A = this chain, B = another copy of it.
């Protein structure tokens, strides 16, 4: 029959979380397609059957794993942006923000590739990706607004900013380009951001 349970008791909640964390781990290590539900259950320390009490199907696990991933990425950014109430938005602040963005990506690097890949293969993951973009963009727009920064085409500028920050974070995680000096990439990004909202 299969009613999906939203756990009420603390133990059930913890069990569901354990499954999500197991998914975060194994999806990150082996990829979504190379992981079977039995392995997730095993890593979570539960039976295969019980997984289907908490999740509709395998993809439902994935979506909740990715939700956790985005949360882990977004929270540090949000915290930092909230702390900027009285600071000036100068080069130093931007550099700090980039460091935080890069670090929170690095802390969750295992699932990073997987999430990007799946956002191009699966409609629902893609939607989560767009929601993340909106979340970040809104947070940034709010900071700019709080600091009375006004430029034309704000939406596009923020979106453009989002893109180059995301690119930067992605590259800094993997250092895939042997001949690229990433400090200089950060510097280029910082300058471009400054000129976008000067």
Known A121-B113, A177-B159, A195-B195; judge A39-B1 contact (CB<8 A): yes
Assembly of this chain: how many copies? Answer: 4
Contact A176 B33 (CB under 8 A): no
Whether, in the assembled complex, A80 has its beta carbon less than 8 Å from a beta carbon of chain B, the answer is no
A1 to B43, CA, bound (A): 12
Interface of A: prevailing SS: helix
Is the interface on chain A under 10, 10 to 19, 20 to 34, or 35 or more residues? Answer: 35 or more
Whether, in the assembled complex, A164 has its beta carbon less than 8 Å from a beta carbon of chain B, the answer is yes
Which residues of B have CB within 8 Å of A192? 160, 192
Contact B130 A120 (CB under 8 A): no
Contact B153 A184 (CB under 8 A): yes
Whether, in the assembled complex, A38 has its beta carbon less than 8 Å from a beta carbon of chain B, the answer is yes
Which residues of B have CB within 8 Å of A157? 188
Q: Which of A148-198 contact B (CB under 8 A)?
A: 153, 155-157, 159-160, 163-164, 167, 171, 176-177, 179-181, 184-185, 188-189, 192, 195-196
